[in-house]
Structures are given as structure tokens and as C-alpha cells.
A and B are shown apart, each in its own frame.
Chain A
């Protein structure tokens, strides 16, 4: 009986703490901060979110019935550079000639507005007029999964070069307008595209402290 109780305790513990999303008490939110980022390229990406499992209720699961969800989603991603990362030693000036080594290109904004996505109601197995909480949460989760998927694939799009070229064109144009005749731009290597909010919040939010 004792061991049964301890198993039960473990079970409850797992249910309560199990794999919950970590506490958010560590993050600081609602504040204005100074930044200095230059967005040079805007990319529109499309992705169909297609799933047959998430919307199933217990009944559908027991009988192995699929529930289709299909939605056309669109992400607008802006790329550019963080100007605050430019150091004095990255710039060489001789008369009207300037040579700058810019920081690696990065994502400067990521927009994935779920409220504008087009759910294909002809195919999707939901009654769009009457949705319960489980269904609404399931759809929110599908969009979260899709956002993760886009982040994972961003580097595979092969647009590092495009972003660099266009950033070079814009920065050159600005410097020429400021009076330089010769402008030479290069980049300090390449880094994978990461969510900037990750750096912002993970500084103040250390999962190990939880």
C-alpha cells in the first residue's frame, strides 16, 4: 500500500509540475528600451498549416478518426543589422573613402499574425461558429508549432546572401549621400537567424533558477 501511495504521489507530482511551461515570474515585461537596428529587407513567407490529429477529441482518438485542420498562414520577416554592434575598429576612413565591416545580418522583426490567417473552412473539420475552449487552444497550439517550424527553416531559405547584398546597397547609398565617394562594405561572418526576443528575455529569465 505504501508503494501504491508513493506511486500516487509521483503521479500527482508529475501532473502538477510535469512538463508545464516554466514559470514566467522571472521575466521583465512592459518597458521601453533603446535600440539601434536597421531593417533593410522584408520577406513574406507562406506556409500551410495542415494537421489531422490535434483537433481530435477522446472519442475520435479511440476510433482513430482524423480531424483535418488546414490554414494558409503568412509570416512577414524583416532582416537587417544591429548598428549598436559597430565598433570604432570596424571603420576605416581615408578622405572620402570609407571601409566598414558590418555586424552579421539578423532578424529585426518577425510577424506571424494568427488573427489574419485564412482557415480553409471547406476542408477543416470544425464548426467555425461554435468553438469550445479545447478547440480554440488546439488551434493556437497548431499556430505555435507552425511558428517554431518557420524559425527552424529560416536558415535553410538561403537568404543570408540576399540580405547582405541589399543591406550593402542601402548602407552604401546612405554613406554616399553623406559625402563619401568610395564605400567598401563587408560583414563580420554569418550567424544563424534567431528570435531576438529570445536574447531579450532569456537574459533576465534563467530557467536554471526555477
Chain B
């Protein structure tokens, strides 16, 4: 008996000690080596929790918003070519838009009739109005969709976000300016350089991803979706905690520390360093704090674009040539578009960005 129990103990010990599987020995391939020049000045380590349900809800909401905006344009286009609303609706039906699954879904969610939905889209209504008027119905729809999908997985992710500067973007010596003991570096925006949740936070010690709840079965794709959402959430947390401004002050400090040791030829010893981000940086940080472009932000962006694209106008505080100004504006718009992934964007923001890009391509 004793021997059997000892055997069981040894077996359990061996089994429970085997924390990691031994995978087959496959080669490690070196695929690419690239030169970069990144100065990391701020690190954010954090934890984030995301569930499949919350991710799916937000994706679906985005999808419905996109449908709403697409159909708003379609109805407006049709109305423009028609005499009145009745004629426009007849044309809308003739072209079988009422049979489109996206339109059908909007009708289904709102419980309106086809004609009612058509007129709602034609009216002055925005996505925000629709969302407000039909909050409960949209939520019911999302719930029904979630019920159809049975599995659930909740991940806890631990990882990091690193921010700093891309040194290759510095324009030597134009962006450098010395005044007595201060070095000013212009047009240097702090950016997110790395955003990772790896299998391990600390290899062999602390896991990066941990399942904290799982029900029934999920697909591989759904797991990947939740992991991606964790990473996005971590990045949003880092931005909210002020990683950009922290990166600037930390960058200034670390350069000051270096310059106390290095006396630059032809200048007075540098004791203070000031990093001054580009023209659009403040807008970017403020607008993207919630990953959303709201109505006030949308109109300010429109004003900015209209003025700065004007061929005669150069904001000489920041730029020397119009092409510099345009390139900077395009980069700003790209960043805004990429990061405004929330489902509460102002109606028409996405379309506005696409038109802006088209215009830029046409002028080039």
C-alpha cells in the first residue's frame, strides 16, 4: 500500500512539476535585419481584462454604424436625383436596396417599416440620434446575437507599452536650435514604439495571458480577437495615464543627462533640452484620449484641413514649405483615423477621411 501511495505521490509530483511542454526542436530562422533609430523614454507596464462578449458587442456596434452611414449616403444620393420623398423611395425600392441585408438589419433593430427607416435616414438624424432613440433595441439585438454565440472567454493580459521618439524623423540641423544653454528640438512627436502582450510577461515566471473565465467552446479566431482587444486596451490605458507627455519630460531629462557629459563643439554647454512636438500633436493627444472623434473634434479637424491644405497658406511657426505642412497634416489624419476605432465617432468622420485621402492623391 505504502509503495503504491509513494508511487502516486512521485507521479503527481512529476506531473505537476511539468509546467511547460517540451516542444520539438525546430530551427530558429533569421528572416530580416533592419536598421532603426528609436529612443525609448517611457515604459508602461499594466494589466487588462477583456471578454469575447464585450469585444463582439463593440465590433457589431461598429458594423451597424457603418451600415447606417452607408445608407444615409445612398438615400441622400437618391433623393438628390428625385422630385420628392415618395419618388425617391420608389427608386430606392426599385434598385432593391430594401432587400440589402444591411438595410434589413437596420429595419429589424429599429422595428420601423422600410419606408420609415428610409425617411429616418433622409432626415437630419445622425448615428448618435439613432443610438440614443433606439438604445434599448440595439442592446436587445446585441444580446440576441450574443445568445446565439454560446461560448465565452475572458482573458487577463499583462504586458507593456513603450513610448519615445523615432530619431530617423529628425531633420538635422533644421529642427535644432540653440539659445544660450538650451537646446530646442522641434517637430519631434512622441509615439508608441512598442505595444506587447507576449506569452510571458517575465519568461518562466509570470504569464502574459491568463484565462480567467471560459464557458463552452470558442473558436481560434475568437481567442485571437480577445487577445488583440487586450493589447488595444493596454495601449489605451497607457495613453490615458499620460504616457506621451511623460515620454517628452523623460526624453528631455535623459538628453540633458547626456549633454552634461558631452560638450558640443561650437556651442555653449547645454544644460536644458526642450522637445517641442509638431503642430498637430496636441490635437492628436486630446482627440484620441477616448479613441473617438466627436462632433466638436470633427469640426475642428475640418477647419484645420481646409486652412492648411489651402495652397497659399503656410503656418510659418511650424513649417517652411507647403509640402512639409501637407505631409505633416496627412500623417496627423492617418494617425487619427487609425486610432479612432471606437463605435461612437461622429457620423461622417470615416467618410470625410476617405474623401480627404482621395483629394490628396489627386493633387499629388
Q: Which residues of A contact B (CB under 8 A)?
A: 3-4, 7-8, 10-11, 14-15, 18-22, 24, 27, 29-54, 74, 78, 80, 83-84, 86-88, 91, 93, 95-96, 98, 108-116, 119, 126, 128-133, 136-138, 140-151, 153, 157, 159, 162, 166, 169-170, 174, 177-181, 195, 197-198, 200-202, 205
* 5 tightest A-B CB contacts, nearest first: A36-B254, A115-B227, A34-B250, A19-B17, A18-B16
Given contacts A18-B17, A43-B30, contact A202 B257 (CB under 8 A): no
| Cα–Cα distance between A151 and B28 once the two chains are bound (Å) | 11
Would you call B246 an interface residue if the criterion is a C-beta within 8 Å of the partner chain's C-beta atoms?
yes
Residues of B within 8 A of A51 (CB): 21, 23-24
| Inter-chain pairs besides A41-B34, A128-B219, 14 sampled, C-beta below 8 Å | A4-B5, A18-B12, A34-B253, A36-B254, A38-B37, A39-B38, A80-B38, A83-B254, A115-B225, A115-B231, A119-B220, A129-B220, A142-B21, A150-B28
| Cα–Cα distance between A22 and B29 once the two chains are bound (Å) | 33
Q: Look across to chain A and name the residue whose beta carbon is closest to the beta carbon of B45.
A: A29
Would you call B26 an interface residue if the criterion is a C-beta within 8 Å of the partner chain's C-beta atoms?
yes
| Cα–Cα distance between A111 and B208 once the two chains are bound (Å) | 12
Residues of B within 8 A of A88 (CB): 261
The interface residues of chain B, by DSSP majority, are classed as mixed
A-B contact pairs, 17 of them (CB 8 A): A11-B8, A19-B16, A35-B40, A35-B162, A40-B35, A45-B29, A78-B36, A86-B261, A112-B198, A112-B199, A128-B220, A131-B217, A132-B217, A141-B21, A144-B200, A169-B35, A181-B265
Asked whether B36 lies within 8 Å of A42 as measured between CB atoms, the reply is yes
Residues of A within 8 A of B336 (CB): none
Question: Which of B200, B220, B231, B261 is the one whose CB lies under 8 Å from A91?
Answer: B261
Question: Which of A29, A34, A80, A148 is the one whose CB lies under 8 Å from B46?
Answer: A29
Given contacts A29-B158, A179-B265, contact A21 B16 (CB under 8 A): no
Residues of B within 8 A of A7 (CB): 2, 5-6, 9
Q: Mark B247-271, 1 if CB is under 8 A from A, else 0.
A: 0001001100110011111110000
Given contacts A24-B206, A52-B24, A113-B198, contact A42 B29 (CB under 8 A): no
Asked whether A27 lies within 8 Å of B206 as measured between CB atoms, the reply is yes
Given contacts A4-B5, A49-B23, A78-B194, contact A197 B201 (CB under 8 A): yes
Residues of B within 8 A of A146 (CB): 23, 199
Question: Which of B6, B160, B220, B253 is the one whose CB lies under 8 Å from A131?
Answer: B220
The interface residues of chain A, by DSSP majority, are classed as mixed
Given contacts A21-B19, A111-B198, contact A33 B42 (CB under 8 A): yes
Asked whether A93 lies within 8 Å of B46 as measured between CB atoms, the reply is no
| Cα–Cα distance between A197 and B246 once the two chains are bound (Å) | 20
Q: Mark B204-228, 1 if CB is under 8 A from A, else 0.
A: 1111010100100111110111011
Question: How far, in Å, is A85 (CB) from chain B's closest CB?
Answer: 11
Question: Which of B45, B203, B209 is the one whose CB lies under 8 Å from A200?
Answer: B45
Question: How far, in Å, is B157 (CB) from chain A's closest CB?
Answer: 10
Q: Which residues of B contact A (CB under 8 A)?
A: 1-2, 5-6, 8-9, 12-13, 16-17, 19-24, 26-47, 153, 158, 160, 162, 167, 172-173, 193-194, 196-207, 209, 211, 214, 217-221, 223-225, 227-228, 231, 238, 241-243, 246, 250, 253-254, 257-258, 261-267
Asked whether B23 lies within 8 Å of A142 as measured between CB atoms, the reply is yes
Q: Look across to chain A and name the residue whose beta carbon is closest to the beta carbon of B224.
A: A115
Question: How far, in Å, is B231 (CB) from chain A's closest CB?
Answer: 8
Asked whether A18 lies within 8 Å of B36 as measured between CB atoms, the reply is no
Asked whether B23 lies within 8 Å of A131 as measured between CB atoms, the reply is no
Question: How far, in Å, is B211 (CB) from chain A's closest CB?
Answer: 6
Asked whether B9 lies within 8 Å of A201 as measured between CB atoms, the reply is no
Asked whether A32 lies within 8 Å of B42 as measured between CB atoms, the reply is yes
Question: How far, in Å, is B5 (CB) from chain A's closest CB?
Answer: 4
Asked whether B220 lies within 8 Å of A148 as measured between CB atoms, the reply is no
Question: How far, in Å, is B16 (CB) from chain A's closest CB?
Answer: 4
Residues of B within 8 A of A44 (CB): 30-34
Asked whether B31 lies within 8 Å of A202 as measured between CB atoms, the reply is no
Asked whether A53 lies within 8 Å of B21 as measured between CB atoms, the reply is yes
Given contacts A19-B19, A30-B47, A35-B42, contact A93 B219 (CB under 8 A): no
| Cα–Cα distance between A145 and B44 once the two chains are bound (Å) | 25
Residues of B within 8 A of A18 (CB): 12-13, 16-17
Given contacts A31-B44, A157-B30, A195-B203, contact A115 B36 (CB under 8 A): no
Asked whether B205 lies within 8 Å of A202 as measured between CB atoms, the reply is yes
Asked whether A151 lies within 8 Å of B203 as measured between CB atoms, the reply is yes
Asked whether B201 lies within 8 Å of A201 as measured between CB atoms, the reply is yes
| Cα–Cα distance between A93 and B265 once the two chains are bound (Å) | 10
Residues of A within 8 A of B200 (CB): 144, 147-148, 195
Question: How far, in Å, is A54 (CB) from chain B's closest CB?
Answer: 4
Question: Which of B20, B35, B231 is the one whose CB lies under 8 Å from A144?
Answer: B20
Given contacts A40-B35, A51-B21, contact A133 B254 (CB under 8 A): no
| Cα–Cα distance between A110 and B200 once the two chains are bound (Å) | 10
| Cα–Cα distance between A193 and B214 once the two chains are bound (Å) | 36
Residues of A within 8 A of B196 (CB): 109-113
